[in-house]
Structure 1
Amino acid sequence: MLTIESLTHLGMGRASDGQSLLPRVLPGEEVDVAQDGTMRIVTPSVDRVAAPCRHFKSCGGCAMQHATDAFVADWKQDIVVKAVQARGISPEFRNIVTSPPKSRRRAKLSGRRTKKGAMVGFHTRASDTLVQVPDCQLLTPALIASFPALEALTLLACSRKGEIDLTVTEAALGADVLIATDKELTPPLRVELAALANQHGLSRLVWNDEPVVTINPPTQDFGGTFVVPPPGAFLQATKHGEAALMSAVEEITTGAGRIIDLFAGCGTFTLPLARRAEVHAVEGEAAMLDALDRGWREGHELRRVTTETRDLFRRPLEPDELRHFEAAVIDPPRAGAEAQIDTLAVSDIKTIAMVSCNPVTFARDAKTLVEAGFAMPWVQVVDQFRWSPHVEIVAPFTRK
């Protein structure tokens, strides 16, 4: 018999034997583990609930559906609190914002041919086993409705024993689908794919890096400005989470007339901010900035937006380049932005809105700014990856 003492940041239960890490358990529970590895919860936690999704035990997409929403919210908030406190910082924490079920607008699925046709779904945890998820409680109804199209595409794009990746994004006028496959795109196959896209009402279909057909531009709405992102481009996971992050960024940068947006992507923050301020958007992927620029040029009542393609890991903006701006927004990948944070720390920038998807690198970069004389009055945790270990974080940094 083992007692679960705590959870790791990935949601695995640390057992009382000091070595076992068990999935789908909660602190305080007593668990009987058989020789074959199967588990039986002997004494359940008061925070244990029935998983809302019938795929929970077989699918590897969620880690925490067996716990109450309140427990998950506290657990996620605590991960960020501990990461920040480990760096000697103790800001106020606002109440966590959690996206509702069935709100995830983008997913990377896998497709495989079967004897009876094709299957599309997620892999089980740490496995090559593919599980169909027709009743997934994460994805939007529009993404679930695209599954028949994805299965039909799998029949055309997948070899007998191979597997393909399908990145599908909800767009206003039909799913935006990117296929990653080793199969050659032949002229006859292109015709079949275009017909299938028309039949299933897809907005755009891309084969590896090659567009097959665009029936309707797969636009995304960034604060009332419409952008057509490149295939597979990064988007915030839910519109709900994006709105929460944008609200915080707006609050932090209020009053700034010139803003620099670092790791700007396709304009998630740039374009809404351009309704009241001039914005310079910097991003390493030229295709994303091209999409942002087209959206701005076709937008209405926006102030001047300029763009710059630049690898901010290898060539961060220097203090003399930052002196023209009153505020900065920075939303780096999971690795954080150590080099760019170092130059921001010694610049004349008065206000920084930092967005992050990694508590560890967020805390590291926050410490650099605090030690340089910035105040970090509060932190907002946004959970748009419901039931997973992932979080988004946004916080203000202001010169004292």
Structure 2
Amino acid sequence: MTDTIVRVAARGDGITADGRHAALAAPGDQLTISGDVIPGPHHQAPPCRHFPRCGGCQLQHLDDSSYSDFITDRIVGALAAHSLETDIRTPLLSPPFSRRRAVLQAEMKGGRIQIGFSENASHVLVDIEECHILTPALFAVIAPLRPLLAKFLRKNRRARLHLTEADQGIDLLIEGIEPEGLAAAEAISDFCARHNVARFAIDSGLGPEVRWEPEPVTISLSGVPVALPTGAFLQATREGEAALIAAVREAIGEATTTADLFAGLGTFTFALPGRVYAGEAARDAIGSLKSAAALARRQIFADHRDLFRRPLTVAELDRFQAIILDPPRAGAREQALLMADSRPPVIAYVSCNPSSFARDSEMLCKGGYTLDWIQPVGQFRWSTHVELAARFSR
């Protein structure tokens, strides 16, 4: 006697029609009475030896079809909680080996530096010897980092490693080490010169301190080089960034005056035609955006503005033909309330949290907007993290 797994829940467990849960089960698998999983047609062999221990991935056992269905189901469920529905397009999945930014941990254990992700729901660190999500350039720096960190990392302490693939090479920020002296400086310089590190910074609790940066580090956004602040947010993959930009451009159409809210470094700002207002609370990010826009001679007004405490008013919103909204995971409740009363013909909403997106969408729809479509994007491959871009029209 077996039950069939019919879907995958938000945290990655397979679920049968009668509500039984099973870890590492895919739709179409059979669940026996004793709890064993018999693989079905959508259950693939996980490509990485560290799965399922490593917390970097939760869904490597799903094939692309069932992984796409998981992403879609997450969005459908979030919308249903607010009595909403719309056309949901086929998710666009980033390929393996495409993650250009990541946060890893490092610790000394058994006389050896271990680097990797923590186990799921645990503080135990998995020392990664392979990774199927990081770009080859990011993964290549991990092995040589071990002997470097062995010089500085104290016993019983962990370091956090922020890695980003920038235009000039790897941008590396390390929290939890305090290298001092000439020998430490020489070791860092030698490491960076040998392993394509564009910038090496250390945060000992008082903010990032750059120890190596032979030339200014940039990230190119729609062909415009933008100064990359240490630890700044960047879309996780180039493919995901391109998919989100394409969806936003489709959503706003031929608008010639656009407000890009929560603009960050300008992921969407520099991809837009006409005049653009870019609002962002992070001072370093908006400073980089403003400088890049000036050098590129673009019609962009960069505004250092906290859109949670001081959202654009209805009168300000009504000046634009289109609004782009790309808030953090918490969504943009305060701004969405005002947008619901505004008159711009179209809104492009980019979200990394279906739940907060659905909440804000309900406010917009009650204000007279229609949710036309949603384009899901799977940047964080094999994870339970879901991103999307949506179009609203009045």
Are the counterparts in 2 of residues 266 and 289 from structure 1 also a CA contact under 8 Å?
A: yes
Distance 2:33 2:113 in 1: 38
Q: Which residue does 1:24 correspond to in 2?
A: 24
Query: In 2, Cα distance between the equivalents of 1:331 and 1:32?
Result: 45
What corresponds to 1:156 in structure 2? 151
* Structure 1 position 186 matched with structure 2 position 180: yes
**Which ranges of structure 2 fall in alignment gaps of 5 or more residues?**
none
Q: Could you tell me how far 1:93 is from its partner in structure 2?
A: 1.6
> How far apart are 1:194 and its partner, in Å?
2.7
Alignment partners' CA distance in 2, 1:227 and 1:58: 37
Aligned CA RMSD, in angstroms, stands at 2.1
Alpha-carbon distance, 1:21 to partner: 4.7
| 1:147 partnered with 2:142 | yes
In the alignment, the residues of structure 2 paired with residue 93 and residue 126 of structure 1 have an alpha-carbon distance, to the nearest angstrom, of 31
Task: Please point out which of 144, 168, 193 is paired with 1:198.
Answer: 193
Report the counterpart of residue 278 of structure 1 in structure 2.
275
Aligned partners of 1:2 and 1:15 also within 8 Å: no
TM-score by length of 1: 0.91
SS in 1 for 2:166: coil
The number of residues matched between the two structures is 387
TM-score w.r.t. length of structure 2 = 0.92
User: Given the superposition, is the C-alpha separation of residues 87 and 124 from structure 1 closer, same or farther in structure 2, using an over 3 Å criterion?
Assistant: same
Distance in 2, Cα, partners of 1:271 & 1:282: 13
Could you tell me which of 367, 375, 386 is aligned with 1:372? 367
Q: Is the 8 A contact 1:2 1:17 kept in 2?
A: no
Distance in 2, matches of 1:166 and 1:157, equals 14
Q: Is the 8 A contact 1:264 1:282 kept in 2?
A: yes
Hey, what's the Cα distance between the residues in 2 that align with 1:172 and 1:364?
A: 37
Shift of 1:390: 1.0
Partner residue in 1 for 2:93? 98
Contact 1:9 1:79 in 2 (8 A): yes
Deviation for aligned residue 1:2 = 7.9
**Amino acid of the residue matched to residue 9 of structure 1?**
A
Encode CA deviations 1:299-325: one digit per residue, 9 max, x unaligned.
2xx531111112211221111222322
| Equivalent in the alignment of 2:240 | 241
Q: Distance in 2 between matches of 1:17 and 1:272?
A: 47
Rate the CA distance shift 1:329–1:133 in 2: closer, same or farther, 3 A.
same
Match of 1:288 in 2: 285
Aligned residue for 2:340?
Answer: 345
Deviation (angstroms), 1:58? 2.0
Match of 2:263? 264
Q: CA deviation at 1:231?
A: 1.1
Shift of 1:298: 2.4
Contact 2:8–2:14 (8 Å) recurs in 1? yes
Question: Do the aligned residues in 2 keep the contact of 1:225 with 1:272 (CA within 8 Å)?
Answer: no
The superposition leaves residues 4-52 of structure 1 with CA deviations (integer Å, 9 ceiling, x where unpaired) of: 564321212347896x75421234522576xxxxx743x3222111111
Cα distance in 2 for residues equivalent to 1:155 and 1:328: 49
Gaps of 5+ in 1: 34-38
Task: Tell me the residue number matched to 1:36.
Answer: none
Deviates more, 1:183-192 or 1:152-161: 183-192
CA offset at residue 101 of structure 1? 0.7
Amino acid at match of 2:8: L
- 2:53 aligns to what? 58
- Distance, in Å, in 1 between the alignment partners of 2:391 and 2:328 is 18
% identical equivalent positions: 38
Residue in 1 aligned with 2:319?
324
Alignment partner of 1:397 is 2:392: yes
Which secondary structure does the structure 1 equivalent of 2:169 belong to? coil
